[in-house]
Each structure stands twice: as structure tokens, then as C-alpha cells.
Structure 1
Amino acid sequence: MQDSTSLPSAADLARQRRNHDRLLAILTGGEHAGGRGDESRCLLLSLGRFVVDRQEGTTVPFGGERGVGALVAATGRLLGDEGADGAKGLTSTSGEVPIGETFVNAAVGVGPAGQLVTTVGPAHDVGTLGEALAVLERRVHLASREVGRDIDLVAQGYNPTVEAPSDLPLVPLARNTLTEAHLSRHGEKVRDAMRATAETVICVDYGGQREAAESYRVATALSPVLSFLTDNVLHFRGEDPHDCGRMLRRSLWSQAAPALTSPLPEAFGPSFGYRAYVAWLERQAPAWYMGPDGHDLPSGEQPLSAVMMRHELSQEQVDQLLKALCPEVGLDGRLVLRCADSLPARLALGYAALAKGLFCDDKAFELASVLVSAATPEAVESARSALARDGWDAEVYGRDATDLVSQLVRIARDGLDGSERDCLDSIAQIWEVGAVPRDLLLDTWDITHAQSEGTVEEDGAEAQTSGDEPGTRSEGNVN
């Protein structure tokens, strides 16, 4: 290993350049030749949720014969993943699910503390993503029977079943331990962020470096708004929901990993592109990754660039780097939006429709760009603070938040076809009444809490569709 105090050799610099070029190759590999309206453009939807045992009311751990790892392996067998045959536990699996006469890619993985992450796509149509997600979730539930669990997939931004993140053990992978240890030296609430949060991720195709840069700027400007609109946290460490505050998941991650949640200053400059994005990663991103021997290499406080000088990375490892070190808005061959809390499937599809409408239609994107044209790195942070503090009364880039959201929804609807507009309406109807998904959880909690106190009429209980605790019902139905 090279002495950290010595100057890099010509071989070191050449190795870093090769690794740098591999990163660039993945970004350019996601380019599509057509414009934003090109029907070959696709989206991916990745939905993280907590696996909760219905009978026990507790989060299912990763390990053990009935754990999340066993659930992933059983799902893999139903997906036809040969690597799942005979496996007692896995951290990821993939295959295809049939939709009509075609097949859509589907994958299941785990988060740092066993959050179940289901991914479907790429697909051009949001409805196709919804159908694929429904099929995949049915297989997850069939797999849960195989492992002897009656489960719910709980879609919330923070795990509502725990009072301390230490109650949720990390999945036994070195990268999880290294990540938590590294972040703990730089931020607060790291255990909460890693172990007890879940998110909805949308990935959108782009068509060339210029479009990627433009999309990145607009997505960065919109990130505080998207975080606010998808706020879906009921409890924090078992506290009274009314004390939780807005945009909690995002707040936890901003404290845990400020470098990955702050706007890239370069994004608003005239020369922003693939090389600027990779240079930022090499300079700022902590370098935990899968080493050449298949084991995580502890990197201490070294930047990614230092590790890239010492080790020749495979294309697979570089691909993993881009995904593992993705900031709130990122590039990994697609535009990656990690702004949203975990959402019930129906609302997640509505959010996907919003993203498609804004980023995949030329006119819609141009109009959305105008709405956030005043954005700068400082203005993005100011917008985030205002929304967390004032909610719908906030001022965002010189506009009233309510008016801004209304215009964004109208613009996105014009960029979608009829069926996808219906998907968008499923979540936009919540926003139109001045609410976000968290408010629905809170209303249900209030009713249930009042029932338990005997302070409401019986017919008031009809707002509840079942006697389950809010947030612990399966959200697998996307109809």
C-alpha cells in the first residue's frame, strides 16, 4: 500500500484515470438518443419498507430461519433466481415478472437494518410499473408463508414499531458497519437514519450530458419540495405523532450525512456535467466499497480518489460505487431522485407519475425549469428550512408553496397520458386539500387513539378500514 505522505506515482495516476473513466462510462451509458418525449425513455421505481410481523407487531430482523434474509431467498426462488436455490438467506435477488405478453425486471434487496427494498423497471409506462410491483409483492407475500411469517410491508419514512434504533441490528455486512462508523464521526442521528428510515426512489432516463445536467439542476431545486410533498412519518422513537415535526427522514439524513444531502454547488454552474459530478464524488464521497477480494476495505477518512489510485476497480464495483454513494439527487446512468419517504404503492406510483410528467416531456420540463429558475445552493437550503418550518405557508424561490405545487402538478399532468394522469391524481388529491401523506397517518392515529379513550361516536370509527394500528396494514394493493 502506498504511503499516504508520498506523492502518487505515474502508475497510481494512470490507475485513477482508468477508474475515473469507468465511472464516466456508466453515466454516458444511460444516454438515450431521442428527446424527452421519446417513448423509449423509461423509469425505475424502488420502494423501501419495513417488514412487520402481524401477530407480534414487531419488525422482522434480517437473520434467522424466519428473517428478512430468508424471505428474500424464498422470493428469489419464486422469481426463478438460480442463485436462490437452496439458500437460507440472501441480501438481494432478481428476476422478471410477467405483465401481459412482456416481462419486467424485478428485484428484492435489503437496507442496512433489513428494510425490504422492492424494485421494478425499467418501464416506459407508470401503469406497467404498478402492475409489476403488484405481481412482485404477491410473490413476496407467498414467500413469507414459506418462511412461516404473516407479514405487513409498512410504508413509512421512519419505522413506527421501534423506540430506539439500537433495537434494529444491522445486516451483517462489513459495508454497513463501515458506513455507520464513518458517518458517526461526522454527524448525529446516524443510527436513526441508517436503521430506522425507508425511502421511495425514482430513476428517470436522460438523453445526453446536457439534458442530464439540466435535469440534475431542476431536480436539485425541486428536492425540498418533493421531500415535503412525500413526508410520511408518523412516529419518531415512539413519541407522540404530533411532536414529530415535518420532513423528519430528510432531517435525520441531513444530520447523519451532510455531504450527501447538501446541494452540489457545481450543479448550478455553466460547466456542470458528468466530469464535474464524478470529480465531486472523488473529492467528497467517503470511500467504503467492495474491495477486489470481495471484502469491504476500510478506508478511514480517505476520499474516494485515494482509493481509486491504489485499486483497479471492476466495472461492477464502479457501478456499485455510483449507487452506494448516491446523494439525494444523483446520476448513475439515470437521474436518481432519493427525496421521498417510503410511500404506499398507490402513492408511490403517483409520485413516479409526477416525476415522469416533469422530466420526460419537453414542454413540461421547460415550464418547471422556469418555476425554479431562482434556485441556487443557498436558495435550495432556504427552501428546505422554510418548508420544514412553515409547511404550505412557506415561500419557495419567491413563490407561495401552495401555488408552486399547484403549478407543478398542472404542468406534470399536461406531460402525461390519461391513465398516468389518474396515477398522479392519487397523490395530487392529497396535496390539493393542503395535506401530505403524513397527515393521513395522523388523522387515522387520532381516530384510533380517540376510540381507545372512548371519546368518539361509533360512526366516527368508520374512517378506519380495519382494526390494525395505522401504518401496519399491507400496502401491496396498487389498484
Structure 2
Amino acid sequence: MNPPRVSYAHLGAKVNDKHLASLLRFFQSGAKPEKDDGYGVEIEHLPVRNGSDRAVSYAEPDGVETLLERLRPYYDTDKEFVEDGHLLGLSRSGISLSLEPGGQFETSIGVLHTPEELLDVYGQFRNEVAPILDELGFRLVNYGYQPVTGFADITLNPKRRYAVMDEYLGHVGSYGPCMMRASASTQVSIDYDGEADAIAKMRVGTALGPIISLFFRNSPYFEGERNPYPLLRQYIWDKTDAQRTGITPGLFDRRFGWEDYARDVLSTPMMFVDLTHTPEAKGLSEDEQEFPAFERNAADIYPDRELNDYEVSHLLSTHFNDVRLKNFVELRHWDSLPIERAELLAETVKSIFYEDDNFARWKSFAEGLNITDVELAKADLQARGMGARPFGRSMEQWQSELGLSDTRPNIPGDPVHPDVFQR
């Protein structure tokens, strides 16, 4: 007899059944029963001024806003993202450009099937942006954290969502403002063929992600000093907001499914409300369509009906688990990487999740874990770096099992190999 099913929704929170059905429908819409093995790669870049390496802000002269404006002719005019008269994003077939809160410049590339496609699309972006950056006097660098400028000296982009997030995350955790203003990542998104496959991939990604992250670490600096943490990105996110970051609650319970994930999302305070695509809000002012919701969840805000895809996407985008479920599985562990290492990371992800025999092995491995096992592995990696033994295996064993030949980063300031630190 199975023990009683545990609810991982927040205690006492209301969940609307129609909203729940909307998220389940959205997850099902992403299923690809016919094997495609497509993936997407997001690489965030830190804008730093030539000469000083200080962070470049959105609004400063010859800053990030100017860069976006200068890139405008290369992108589709009907796919621009503008808020309050400010250009905040561009897009065309195969690539989208967007900005994270502190001016981090994100390229979202996909759907991809080969590393050559990634190199081609990203290479075209770099060829277009290089002469503009030279004229503006700054660079887009690939580190997990700003090299010189501390978070307190970085201004937020003029986006209403970010102002609200800054206030909320600045109160519920220790490192929300650091994450928003100064961190940068590489993320890889993968397909699933249905509910069981999605959950299995979330488990494998959650268990292996921190191990892979140590091999691909790329955060030599933290707040203008040498970074002391083997996994800085993990350290920051685990201390940002316990309700919406870290390991997905209940993920390693064998009965966990899409409904559990949906209930967790729907019962969490919304943080920021976006009713710009809610028909019932048509005609309301901007302040009435976008506003903070620090205590209310979806049932308190949205009408008693099924939600549209925009509303669902907004709700899912306010959760930041190590592995996030949308209408694909998003793996979020890794520092911003230069393209050659991002390519290797993507190949590693493909090998784990899209080679059938390989994935079957890792799926079986993850099914034998519980949340305590994974938390202990993360803590061990954070405490001992390359001396850790996550899940009882040395890092040398993991390097072999993951097919990683030489992943030691050739960067200044490696916290695991401090002998290479130099400024």
C-alpha cells in the first residue's frame, strides 16, 4: 500500500481548478511524441566598458540601449519588444535578443540539431555586433558574474517587472539583487515526449546539473574580488527565494507529475502581475495591468476561467528552479560561457538526454535518488569543489562517465584552482 500522497503546494493557498487545467494543457502542448532531438541555447553576456571593465548600464551614453538601437536593422520590425518607449528586445528567425535586469545581453538561439548550427547562428550575431561594440567602446564578455562592478552600482533596466522583482527578492532572500544585476548564465532547453519523459529529464537534470556545472564553472569574480565559491551561481540562486528556486519540491517522489508542478506554481505568490494579455483587463491603465502581488497568487488575480498561453507563460516565468518546466525542459545551472565551451556543454546535454542508451542509464540512476541525496551532493560540491564525491563518486569518475575529457576553464580566478588567479 502506498503512503498518502503529499501535497507540495504552499500551505493554505488556493488553486483554481481551471487554472490548473490550463497549465496541464500547456505542458501537454509541448510534448513531441515523434523524436526530434531539438534543443535551444541561451547565452547571457555581461556588458563591460573597455579599459576599466566596469559594467555598462542600459541608459548611459553609448550604452546597452544604444547597442540595441544600432542592431535594429538586422532584426524583424514586427518582433521588437518595446516598453514605455524603451527598446528592450529584438528577434528574427533563429535568434532573439533580450535584456536581463542589470543590462545582461541575452542571445536565445534555436531550435538547433547540430553544434554547427549553434556556431553559425551565434557567429553571425557576433559578426554583426562586433563593429558596433568597437564604436561604442564596450564588450560583451562571458563570465558568470560581473568582473569589477558590485551589484549596488548597477542600475536596473526600465522594465516594470524588474522593479517589482527587485523589491520582492530583496526582502525574501539574501542574494536576489546580486542575481538580478550582476550574474549571467548559459541555459539549454530540451524536448520531451510526454509527462513521464519530462519528469524523468527534470530529475536527471536536477541531479547531474551541479556536477556538470563544476566542470564548466566560469565565475572568477564576485563583487569585484576573487570568487571564493566553487559554484557561485548555485550559491546565489539557492539563497534568492526559497519558494521558487532550488530543487523542485517533490520532484524525486515517485508519484510526482505535472499536476504537482502546476500546483506549486499556482500556489506561490505571483510577485508581479501582468494582465496585458488578459481580455478582462482591456482598457485598464498600465498601473492596473501590471503591479506587485507579494501575497496573492493566481487564484486571487486571474478570472475564473482557463488561462491563455501568455498568462500561463508569465506564471511559469516567475519560478526559477534548478530545472524549470515550461512547454519544454529548461536546464538552468550554468555560468555564462564563451561559445566554444557553450557548444561543448550543449553536446554534453545532448549526449545525456538524447542518446537513448545513455539516457536510460541516467534515468535509472535518478530514480534511485531522493531530495536529500541531491541536496547533499550540491552541498558537497559547494564545500569541496573538485575534492567532492557527489553520490559517492569522485570528480574524476564523473568526468569519465559524462564523457568530458578536459573541461578545466582557462580563466583568471578559478576558485577550485586558485593558482591561476591573476588580475
Asked if structure 1 preserves the Cα contact closer than 8 Å seen for 2:80 and 2:91, the reply is: no
Asked if structure 2 preserves the Cα contact closer than 8 Å seen for 1:289 and 1:317, the reply is: no
Distance 1:446 1:90, change over 3 A: farther
3-state SS in 2 of match to 1:91: strand
Q: State yes or no: 1:361 paired with 2:355.
A: yes
Deviation at 1:322, TM superposition (A): 1.9
Within the candidate set 211, 231, 255, 1:247 is matched to 231
Task: Compare CA radii of gyration and give the structure with the larger one.
Answer: 1
In 2: Cα distance, 1:31 partner to 1:206 partner: 6
3-state SS in 1 of match to 2:123: helix
Asked if structure 1 preserves the Cα contact closer than 8 Å seen for 2:217 and 2:231, the reply is: yes
Asked if structure 2 preserves the Cα contact closer than 8 Å seen for 1:52 and 1:58, the reply is: yes
In 2: Cα distance, 1:347 partner to 1:141 partner: 20
Asked if structure 1 preserves the Cα contact closer than 8 Å seen for 2:248 and 2:322, the reply is: no
Asked if structure 1 preserves the Cα contact closer than 8 Å seen for 2:86 and 2:158, the reply is: no
Number of the residue aligned with 1:29: 29
Distance 1:378 1:286, change over 3 A: farther
Deviation at 1:282, TM superposition (A): 1.3
Asked if structure 1 preserves the Cα contact closer than 8 Å seen for 2:214 and 2:231, the reply is: yes
Number of the residue aligned with 1:302: 296
Number of the residue aligned with 1:45: 41
Asked if structure 2 preserves the Cα contact closer than 8 Å seen for 1:329 and 1:337, the reply is: yes
In 2: Cα distance, 1:311 partner to 1:159 partner: 43
Distance 1:324 1:76, change over 3 A: farther
Within the candidate set 90, 107, 117, 1:128 is matched to 117
Number of the residue aligned with 1:119: 108
Q: Which whole-Å deviations, capped at 9, do the CAs of 1:53-100 have from their partners, x for residues lacking one?
A: 22453221111452212322332321233455999841111002xxxx
How do residues 352-391 of structure 1 correspond to structure 2 at under 5 angstroms? 352-391=346-385
Deviation at 1:258, TM superposition (A): 2.6
3-state SS in 2 of match to 1:256: coil
Asked if structure 2 preserves the Cα contact closer than 8 Å seen for 1:157 and 1:342, the reply is: yes
Gaps of 5+ in 2: 1-11, 277-283
How do residues 20-419 of structure 1 correspond to structure 2 at under 5 angstroms? 20-34=20-34, 38=35, 40-64=36-60, 66-82=62-78, 89-96=86-93, 105-144=94-133, 148-162=135-149, 164-239=150-225, 241=226, 244-284=228-268, 286-292=270-276, 295-308=289-302, 313-409=307-403
Q: Which whole-Å deviations, capped at 9, do the CAs of 1:9-40 have from their partners, x for residues lacking one?
A: xxx98xx4333333223211211112xxx3x2
In 1: Cα distance, 2:324 partner to 2:100 partner: 18
Asked if structure 2 preserves the Cα contact closer than 8 Å seen for 1:24 and 1:278, the reply is: yes
Asked if structure 2 preserves the Cα contact closer than 8 Å seen for 1:70 and 1:89, the reply is: no
Asked if structure 2 preserves the Cα contact closer than 8 Å seen for 1:234 and 1:438, the reply is: yes
- Counterpart residue identity of residue 161, structure 2: R
Query: TM (normalized to structure 1)?
Result: 0.76
In 2: Cα distance, 1:275 partner to 1:126 partner: 34
Number of the residue aligned with 1:102: none
Number of the residue aligned with 1:464: none
* Worse-matched range after superposition: 436-445 or 217-226: 436-445
Distance 1:55 1:394, change over 3 A: closer
In 2: Cα distance, 1:403 partner to 1:113 partner: 38
In 2: Cα distance, 1:198 partner to 1:329 partner: 16
3-state SS in 1 of match to 2:273: coil
Number of the residue aligned with 1:419: none
In 1: Cα distance, 2:270 partner to 2:86 partner: 29
3-state SS in 1 of match to 2:292: coil
Query: TM (normalized to structure 2)?
Result: 0.86
Asked if structure 2 preserves the Cα contact closer than 8 Å seen for 1:224 and 1:384, the reply is: yes
Aligned residue pair count: 401
In 2: Cα distance, 1:204 partner to 1:264 partner: 17
Write 1 or 2 for the structure with the bigger share of helix.
Answer: 1
Q: Which whole-Å deviations, capped at 9, do the CAs of 1:295-317 have from their partners, x for residues lacking one?
A: 42210222344334579754223
Q: Which whole-Å deviations, capped at 9, do the CAs of 1:175-213 have from their partners, x for residues lacking one?
A: 111112111221112211111100111000111111111
In 2: Cα distance, 1:300 partner to 1:128 partner: 42
Deviation at 1:436, TM superposition (A): 4.6
Number of the residue aligned with 2:406: 430
- Counterpart residue identity of residue 193, structure 1: M
In 1: Cα distance, 2:421 partner to 2:206 partner: 38
In 2: Cα distance, 1:67 partner to 1:21 partner: 44
Between the two structures, name the one with larger relative contact order (CA 8 Å, sep ≥ 6): 2
User: What's the RMSD between the two structures over aligned residues?
Assistant: 2.9
In 1: Cα distance, 2:273 partner to 2:396 partner: 42
Q: Which whole-Å deviations, capped at 9, do the CAs of 1:249-283 have from their partners, x for residues lacking one?
A: 22012111233333223211222222211111112
3-state SS in 1 of match to 2:188: strand
3-state SS in 1 of match to 2:32: coil
Q: Which whole-Å deviations, capped at 9, do the CAs of 1:113-169 have from their partners, x for residues lacking one?
A: 110001110112122122111112222234446xx413321111110021x211100
Deviation at 1:345, TM superposition (A): 1.0
- Counterpart residue identity of residue 367, structure 1: R
Gaps of 5+ in 1: 1-6, 97-104, 410-427, 450-468, 470-479
